[in-house]
């Protein structure tokens, strides 16, 4: 048996990692400015993270949600305090797609409605309803096609207002679009969604799978717009590489046994990983560092020839070039051993390093990026 061919692969096999560095099996060191799709939030193999997971494995690795798992309550309490959502409930699961799937399902239970508004260039996962709400026809099999999803233009308040009615059960939107090229929903657009959801009794779901957990400089990207959604989905940075995800749920939603469920969600080791991440974000002031280093990166990138636009908050940065970015990313990787990310916009590079990146690491990237861009523009 061989593995199913899903992704085009770089001919690199990392075998060791520390902080924002990777080493391949030949011993070459790489600077990780992508964090495996924004997953590495507190740096590879952080000592506190490793310690918490090892201690948990020495006690118990897994039992199902048919018993008390006190670590779930500790995780929920710490997440509520750090994010400013102490009055919300937490449902734990395993991936961002699963979180979005359950949020959309719970919204439908609550409203008894089917229609969902989603937006162009949005990405919410690859499972059935999550991928139906994703703007990516190539990802959707015939079984995913549904007329329950209303896809509207991103940041278009007039189109949003026109489409709204009492048939709408929920609206799902990313705090910042990740795969779509780090596109930011303007504050007034998010505020308009909140107003219309309140007016028509619909549920506002903020997909913070990539943009949450301090990446924007605030705990959640939507907090830049001063709104509070009904549900917030989280995943990537939540476990620093260990699979864990969740849905933060407004107290107006009443739990009924049988509505939601999970075998692996909120297991002992996942909670240990999640608690460690929250500890480090708090103790090392990573929200502040995300803002500070992110601003330095963004300001510096805007001054480089060939850069058309720099988008994002904190350490979720989209660098749109005047040319396609594939050759630039390849040169950064092959010539300077720096990992960066792509997006559905062929001209936009994504920068998503761990939140404890230092300014000197950012300077290494900036110098390499300037060098690659100057060589390319001369050609």
Query: Which pLDDT score, from 0 to 100, does residue 38 have?
Result: 97
Measured distance CA(126)–CA(129) in Å, rounded: 8
Q: Which pLDDT belongs to residue 175? A: 98
Regions of the chain short of the pLDDT cut 70: 379
Return the pLDDT at 376. 87
List Cα–Cα distances, 352 to 25, 125, 152, 161, 228, in angstroms: 24, 18, 27, 33, 25
Beta-carbon count within 10 A of 363 CB: 13
**Residue-level pLDDT at 377:** 81
| Rounded distance between C-alpha atoms, residue 260 and residue 91, angstroms | 9
Beta-carbon count within 10 A of 287 CB = 20
Measure the CA–CA gap between 276 and 53, rounded to whole angstroms: 8
pLDDT (0 to 100) of residue 238: 98
**How is 68-97 classified by DSSP, letter by letter?**
--HHHHHHHHHHHHHHT-TTSEEEEESSHH
The rounded distance, in Å, linking the Cα atoms of 253 and 110 is 7
Contacts of 68 (CB under 8 A, 6+ apart): none
Whose CA is closest to 43, among 62, 26, 18, 16? Answer: 18
For residue 299, what pLDDT is reported?
Answer: 98
Q: Which domains does the chain have, with CATH numbers?
A: 14-42+289-378 (3.90.1150.10), 47-283 (3.40.640.10)
- What percent of the chain is helix, strand and coil (3-state, nearest 5)? 40, 20, 40
- What's residue 373's pLDDT? 96
pLDDT value of position 379:
65
Number of Cβ within a 10 Å radius of residue 136: 15
Q: What is the pLDDT of residue 61?
A: 97
């Amino acid at each position: 048996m061989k593995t199913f061919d899903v992704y085009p692969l770089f001919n690199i096999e990392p075998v060791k990692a520390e902080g924002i560095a990777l080493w391949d099996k030949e011993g070459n060191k790489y600077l990780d400015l992508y964090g495996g799709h924004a997953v590495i939030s507190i740096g590879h193999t952080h000592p506190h993270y490793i310690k918490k997971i090892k201690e948990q494995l020495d006690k118990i690795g897994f039992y199902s949600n048919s018993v008390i798992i006190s670590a779930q309550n500790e995780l929920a309490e710490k997440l509520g305090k750090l994010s400013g959502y102490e009055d919300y409930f937490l449902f734990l699961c395993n991936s961002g797609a699963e979180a979005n799937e359950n949020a959309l399902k719970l919204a439908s239970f609550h409203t008894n409605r089917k229609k969902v508004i989603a937006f162009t260039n949005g990405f919410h996962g690859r499972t059935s309803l999550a991928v139906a709400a994703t703007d990516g026809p190539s990802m959707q099999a015939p079984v995913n096609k549904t007329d329950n999803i209303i896809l509207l233009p991103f940041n278009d308040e007039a189109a949003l207002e026109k489409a709204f009615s009492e048939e709408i059960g929920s609206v799902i939107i990313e705090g910042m679009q990740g795969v779509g090229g780090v596109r930011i929903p303007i504050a007034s657009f998010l505020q308009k969604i909140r107003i219309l959801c309140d007016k028509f009794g619909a549920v506002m779901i903020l997909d913070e799978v990539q943009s949450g957990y301090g990446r924007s400089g605030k705990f959640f990207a939507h907090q830049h717009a001063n709104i509070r959604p009904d549900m917030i989905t989280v995943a990537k940075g939540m476990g620093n590489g260990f699979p864990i995800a969740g849905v933060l749920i407004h107290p107006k939603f009443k739990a009924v046994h049988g509505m939601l469920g999970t075998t692996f969600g909120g297991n002992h080791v996942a909670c240990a990983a999640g608690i460690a991440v929250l500890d480090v974000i708090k103790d090392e002031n990573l929200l502040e560092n995300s803002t500070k280093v992110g601003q330095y990166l963004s300001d510096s990138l805007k001054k480089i020839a060939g850069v058309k636009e720099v988008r994002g908050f904190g350490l979720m940065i989209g660098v749109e070039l005047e040319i396609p970015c594939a050759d630039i990313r390849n040169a950064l990787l092959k010539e300077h051993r720096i990992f960066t990310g792509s997006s559905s916009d062929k001209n936009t590079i994504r920068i998503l390093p761990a939140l404890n990146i230092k300014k000197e690491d950012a300077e290494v990237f900036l110098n390499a990026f300037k060098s690659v861009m100057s060589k390319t523009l001369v050609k």
